[in-house]
Amino acid sequence: MTGTVRLARDYGLACGTLPAGALDAITDVPGVRVGHLTRTDGALRTGVTAVLPHGGNLYRDKVPAAADVINGFGKSAGLIQVEELGSIETPILLTNTFAVGAGFNALVRHAIRGNPDIGRETATVNPVVCECNDGYLSDIQAMALTEADALEAVAAAVEGPVAQGSVGAGTGMSAFGFKSGIGTASRRLVLDGASFHLGVLALANFGRAGDLVLPDGRRPVPPDVRGPRGERGSVILLMATDIPLESRQLRRVARRGGAGLARLGAWWGHGSGDIALAFTTARRICHDQARDIVERACLNENRIDRLFRAAVEATQEAVLNALCASPAMTGRDGHRRPSLADWLSEREPS
């Protein structure tokens, strides 16, 4: 959908001051891949999105990672081991709440296919699957997403521009009373004279109708608001960078995603599951490492404020892109979400 839809910048909605990457996407981080599987048949408005830190064998060459649970009303899988070991060893799947099990099984099979020794000669595998509830627009009780769907999203993952809006896991999502979905953005930073990136991909399904605050101060109110009116739903933020960071530093960066959400008017209500997961591609953690002691580089902690700002700005823009790229949708039982793009277009100078 990139290139055929208007995003936040096309409406003059600038988030912060740092420069964006060439794609303004999580895939500005070299090696990162994104793929979608979308289901819109019958009463279904759902799907799967896969994010791969690199295109190799993730189980054999893990990446440093960390998660920050902003509000834990969620059913994600794999975050406990990420927290304990500070690494990711599978693709990351985003999907609806009732498809976490199918995604988990799919990632186990995917890992075993590339590593037949898993669970026998070597350790088991820790799939990472995160979710949001798309049940207002989609028949979530159908539990229609399968392992094959999840594997198709993984197989579809590529570098380059990222489709945004009502695609993949974002197909049936809503935010602030508007149709929402998948959005992404990035920021470019210069460290020691070299260029690096921090990118965010957001699955946005949160926020109370009327609470959205645009960067220019306007507060869009969706027409004819229906459905849950509280601060409910969820948001999953995936952050990628090619800056070398320890897992502790990654957790600090991930936590700043919450500030980006707050800029939009979110306050992480009781029924909202808000999770940020960050990883770096700058270093690989070898599963079969033979050495007792390994060397590694990491960012000077006194420079980390630059990444904090990048995380806040890219999070804010990624969510706005998810909203701007999503057309109005009618789903299950006639439930409907209006489009923020329509609201913005109606108020543009003629």
- Catalytic site residues? 234, 272, 274
**Torsion over CA: 212, 204, 143, 158 (sign):** positive
Comparing C-alpha atoms, which of 86, 319, 62, 85 is closest to residue 215?
A: 319
| Cα gap 34→183, rounded to integer Å | 12
**CA angle (70 as vertex; 16, 278 as ends), nearest 5:** 65
d(CA 209, CA 4): 27
Q: Which residues pair with 272 in a beta bridge?
A: 233
